[in-house]
Amino acid sequence: MAEADQTPLLAIDNLAVHYPIGGTFRGPRRVLKAVDGIALTVAPGECLGLVGESGCGKSTLAMTIMGLVPPTHGRIRIADQEISAAKKADHMHLARTVQMVFQDPYASLNPRQTVRRTLADPLRLHGIGNKTEVEHRVADIMAKVGLRPEQADRYPHEFSGGQRQRIGIARALILRPRLVLCDEPVSALDVSIRAQIINLLLELKDDLGLSYVMISHDLGVVEHVSDRVAVMYLGRIVERGGWREIFEDPRHPYTRALIAAIPDAFRRRAVAGQKARGEIPSALAPPPGCHFHTRCPLAADQCRSDVPLLEPVAPGHLAACHFRDRATSLHGELVEP
């Protein structure tokens, strides 16, 4: 696990990504706040799990970190480089520091390119190595992800889903980045091979000294791989802390609802009565106050009017809930500590 006093490899401060919607004769312009005031850090060698339901802003945050989506405001620093103000020329350097493993191994690979070209093109684009060195790098990274170098002349359709994701991981690592964003890296794979890919990512993290942002709605995966966990809901971080604190002492009702949904009989009993009500609201019209109050079994009048701040409940453990300092009974009733 990364040391707490290290300078962050990734530092995000008050980041927002807003999309204007409409504004024509069909109706007034509205704003979709996909990311709304996010603050996060990732230390060298650390894995930060980022969890939340679909539509909460996880993938938008990842694309913004990659420099593919411009922020509305806020700052992103990766290895002391200001990404939010980076020019196009700086993005070439950024690509050698941060890369991404995508969710769908079928859609993320060019069907007309061999594996060799898929892996060699980034090296050529960045002017790394001569022909012999490029071939060596390609063979080396294929071996690291569990593929044979002689498979390099095959096309993506000749591989299974798990093998394609290994190719996607190899492509992300070919430039030897320090930070890798994993956007639901196993959700499109068969259950039988998900553990293989997760274990591969953990081995590569240790062998190559990588840092990860592991984006997932599967808390079982996040619990297994993460040093720290951040929970997102409608564009905001609602809880953040070490994986043990998040899973064993969750302080936000939304976190407890996510844990209640994990298919584990013991854990379901431990968070009885914590399931969220109804559906997630539209990001175009989020509820006032605490965004979660419309689904929260503990909501009070204060929750409907006042935005809760993300504040400490213990060292390194923060929650954005007006009742974060109170314990919760197994039936969801607030009790004084």
Distance of alpha carbon 113 from alpha carbon 161, whole angstroms: 17
In the predicted model, residues of the chain with pLDDT beneath 50 are 1-4, 265-266, 268-269, 272-273, 327, 329-337
pLDDT value, residue 2: 46
Supply the pLDDT for residue 84: 65
pLDDT of the residue at 242: 96
- Where are the domains positioned within the chain? 227-336
pLDDT of residue 27: 66
> What long-range pairs does 255-264 form, CB within 8 A, spacing at least 24?
255/231, 255/319, 256/328, 257/295, 258/51, 258/52, 258/53, 258/219, 258/231, 259/219, 261/219, 262/219, 262/220, 263/220, 264/220
The per-residue pLDDT for 185 is 92
Tally: H helices and E strands in the chain: 11, 14
pLDDT per residue as tens digits for the range 78-115 = 988 888 665 655 677 888 899 999 988 889 999 999 99
First vs last Cα of the chain: how many Å apart?
31
